[in-house]
Each structure stands twice: as C-alpha cells, then as structure tokens.
Amino acid sequence: MNLVELLPQDAIIVELVGDDVPTVFAELCAPMARSTGIAAHELVAALLEREALASTGIGHGLAIPTACTRSWRESSEHSAVRGPGCRWVRPTARACTCSSR
C-alpha cells in the first residue's frame, strides 16, 4: 500500500526542511491550513499546546503529532518526512528523530 492511497497527494510533504519542532509543525500546518481554511498559526499553536502535555515522538525516527482545535471538528491527516530529522524530546527525555504524520 502506498501513502497516496490513504491521503490526498497535496497532504503529503516529501521532505521537511525544519530542524526544530515549531518549524516542522509550521511546515506540516501550511497545507492543512490551505485545505481546511483554518489559520496556520492556530494549527501550530494547537500542536504545540498538545506537545507540551506529552511528546508525540514515539522513537525510531517517528512522531505522530495530533491536536484538536475549536475551529475544526473533522479529521484531517497530513504526512511528511524529515531527512536527517529534528530533535524531538520524548516523555523519557531521550531525543529521537522526527518524521511526522
């Protein structure tokens, strides 16, 4: 199965360039903002607020950031790959690399 079978092609970012969590979130939220009509900064703020509760880094180079906003009640999935990765702190305070979905 290919990722394009699960997500619209414009919801997939082939390679992120950010090297920190806020920048990666901003990159992830840009296409989502275009498809939902919600301001990108609102989406980024929701992801950062959620990340402050507990890291979405799951190890092995993966993170699955999720968040809820008051403006959007439906599900919207986007996927991205970050080459060398960015520093993503897990709840155990160990760093892992990030490829976001």
48, amino acid identity: L
What pLDDT shows up at residue 94? 44
pLDDT exceeds cutoff 80 at 23: yes
The pLDDT tens digits of the residues spanning 49-99 come to 888 888 887 776 667 787 777 766 555 555 555 555 565 554 444 444 444
Q: 57-59 and 95-96 as β-strands: parallel, antiparallel, unpaired? A: unpaired
What pLDDT shows up at residue 83? 54
Tell me how many helices (H) and strands (E) the chain has.
2, 6
Q: 62-63 and 57-59 as β-strands: parallel, antiparallel, unpaired? A: antiparallel
Q: Is residue 101 part of a domain?
A: no
Q: Is residue 38 part of a domain?
A: yes
Q: How many CB atoms lie within 10 A of CB 68?
A: 10
Q: Is residue 46 part of a domain?
A: yes
Q: How many domains does the chain have?
A: 1
The whole domain housing 72 covers 11-96
Work out the average pLDDT over 12-40: 84
What is the value of pTM for the model shown? 0.67
Q: Is residue 5 part of a domain?
A: no
Q: What are phi and psi of 78, to 5 degrees?
A: -135, 150
Q: Is residue 6 part of a domain?
A: no
| CATH code: domain of residue 58 | 3.40.930.10
Q: Is residue 4 part of a domain?
A: no
